[in-house]
Amino acid sequence: MLGFYGVKSQKYKFALGYTVLLVPILAFEIAFTVYAFLYIDGASSLIKNLMYILYPRNPGLSTTAWDNMHRELQCCGLQRNWDNNATALPISCCPIPSGAISPFECTSQNSHRSRCDIVISSGVTNDLYTFFCVGAVIASLQIIIIGLSAWMTHRLKHKPSNANRDSQKIVAPTRVVTDYSKY
């Protein structure tokens, strides 16, 4: 609104204020884009490390959160090093078929095949790539907008002194009558 008002009313200070306000916004967009780009590769290792640290070692610690993650992401745990004779896994690691009769036992044979750290880190990596692409496009558009705004501000500053006055009066056109009798 500030830029539109500055250009429409041809006030240099408002247009300059708009242009100056665009610069920190551009700096934020560039920082966001660089941040997303830098963490695309490091996100998966960071997530894996945090998950290994936070993985519940005792049965009562945040099992609800892990159960929800197993069900929603269709993954199971952090490591897939159990063999075919592994003990029972959490029931949330298995897709429960319709018509299953209790007691249903979740084993490595019928559990989700994906590890949760890989599912989450690949999702975050994809999201960071999307943020990077969107940020780059928005920052590019912002550079164009700042250029146009600076150009309009420059034009307002260096406009002729009589640009706001009506130096030439608009005169109504006179009616021209053509005499066709000569032809």
- Residue 93 in contact with residue 111, Cβ under 8 Å? yes
Q: How far is CA 148 from CA 5, 23, 28, 127, in A?
A: 15, 13, 19, 32
Q: What is the domain extent for residue 34? A: 2-56+63-77+88-164
Cα torsion angle, 109, 112, 116, 122, sign: positive
Domain count, the chain: 1
Domain assignment present for residue 175? The answer is: no
Domain assignment present for residue 183? The answer is: no
Domain assignment present for residue 172? The answer is: no
State residue 143's pLDDT score. Answer: 93
State residue 137's pLDDT score. Answer: 93
Domain assignment present for residue 182? The answer is: no
State residue 78's pLDDT score. Answer: 72
Residue type, 62: S
State residue 55's pLDDT score. Answer: 64
Q: Spell out the per-residue pLDDT of the chain, length 183, in tens.
A: 666 666 677 777 878 888 888 899 999 989 988 888 887 777 777 777 777 776 655 555 567 777 888 888 888 877 665 545 556 677 888 888 787 777 777 877 888 888 888 888 888 888 888 888 998 999 999 999 899 888 888 888 887 765 555 555 666 677 777 777 776
Domain assignment present for residue 83? The answer is: no
Domain assignment present for residue 171? The answer is: no
Cβ-based neighbours of 155, under 8 Å, separated by 6 or more: none
Domain assignment present for residue 82? The answer is: no
Number of other residues whose CB lies within 10 A of the CB of residue 7: 17
Can you give the pTM of this predicted structure? 0.61
- Nearest-angstrom CA–CA distance, 147 and 153: 10
State residue 40's pLDDT score. Answer: 79
